Amino acid sequence: MSLPDYKSPGKQSSAPVQSKSQVVHLNIGGHVFSTTLGTIRKFPNSTLADLFNGSTKRMDSEGRHFIDRDGTYFRYILEYLRTEKLPSEHLQEVHKEALYYDIKPLVKAIEDTPQFFGETVGRQQFLARVPNYRENLEVIVRVARAEAIASRYSHIIVCVVRTEDDLARYNNAIDSLGTPRESVVSFGPWKAPASVEDLLDCIKTDIESKGYKVKIQPHSIDKGFLFKSYDFFYKLIFTWW
C-alpha cells in the first residue's frame, strides 16, 4: 500500500488579505468618516493610499485610523475618490488638502477649473502688481481693531490711485481731506487692466475672508477742492456687533 504524496503547505502570510470592500473608519482631527479600503486606495501612488499600505498605523481610542490634520474639507476629498466629482465650493481649501494627500488627478482637475484659474492666475497676479497690497490689508485691520474700543463701528479711510497721473492729483487733494496723511491707507498705482472697482472688491473680499464684516463706500467731505473726493478716497466701515 503506497502512502499518499505529502505536499508542504508552504509559507503562509501572517497578515490577512485586505479586501477592497473592507470598511475603514477614519478620525481626521476629530472629524469621523467611514468608507472602503478600495476608495482610500483609489489612487495607489497618493500619500493617502500609502497611509493604509504600511504596517504602522495610528489608531484612536475607538480603533479608527487617525490622521492628525484638520478634517473640515476631507468630505470633498472622499467624494472625489468615490465619484471623481469636483466640489462646487471651497476649491482653494480642497486644493490644499489634495496637495497634502498627493492626489494628483484631483489637484490637476481643480487647477483646470475656471474659478481656480481666475483666482490664481487672474486675481492674484493682479494683486501682485499692486504695491504693498498685503501689508496695507494688515494695516487696515490693525487700525480698525484699535478704533473698536467701546464702539460698534470703525471707519478707515483708504485712497486708491489707478495711474501715475492720479498719484499727482492725489498729492494735491489729500491736503484738503481734513484727515492726517499718515492715517490714510493708500493703494496703487498699478500696471494692469483691472479697475479701481476691481481692487476695492479684492480688498473687501480679502478682509471678509479673515472673518470681519466690512462695507466700502465713497468718502465724501464738505470741504471743496478741485478734485472730487470719491475719485480717490473711500471709507471702509467695520461692524463689530
Place of cell 464738505: 222
The DSSP secondary-structure symbol of 181 reads: G
What is the amino acid identity at position 9? P
The phi, psi pair for 129, rounded to 5°, reads -95, 0
Hey, what's the cell of 50? 500609502
- pLDDT for position 2: 47
The DSSP secondary-structure symbol of 192 reads: S
Place of cell 473592507: 22
Cα gap 184→114, rounded to integer Å? 36
Hey, what's the cell of 184? 490714510
Q: Give residue-wise pLDDT tens across range 212-226.
A: 999 999 987 655 544
Per-residue pLDDT band at 134 (split at 50, 70, 90): very high
Place of cell 480717490: 232
Length of the chain: 241
Please count the CA atoms within 13 angstroms of the CA of 56 that sit on its side-chain side. Answer: 0
Spatial CA neighbour of 154 closest among 167, 141, 138: 141
Q: Are 196 and 170 in contact (CB under 8 A)?
A: no
Spatial CA neighbour of 29 closest among 78, 69, 74: 69
Cα gap 46→40, rounded to integer Å? 9
User: Which domains, and CATH codes, for the chain?
Assistant: 23-112 (3.30.710.10), 129-239 (no CATH)
Q: For the residues 200-206, what does the mean pLDDT come to?
A: 96
Q: Give residue-wise pLDDT tens across range 12-62.
A: 444 455 678 899 999 999 999 999 999 999 999 999 999 887 666 789 999
Q: Which residues pair with 33 in a beta bridge?
A: 26
Cα gap 27→34, rounded to integer Å? 9
Spatial CA neighbour of 145 closest among 204, 199, 211: 211
186-145-231 Cα angle (round to 5): 25
pTM for the structure as a whole: 0.67
169-236-92 Cα angle (round to 5): 110
Spatial CA neighbour of 46 closest among 89, 90, 80: 80
**How confident is the prediction for the chain on average, in pLDDT?**
86
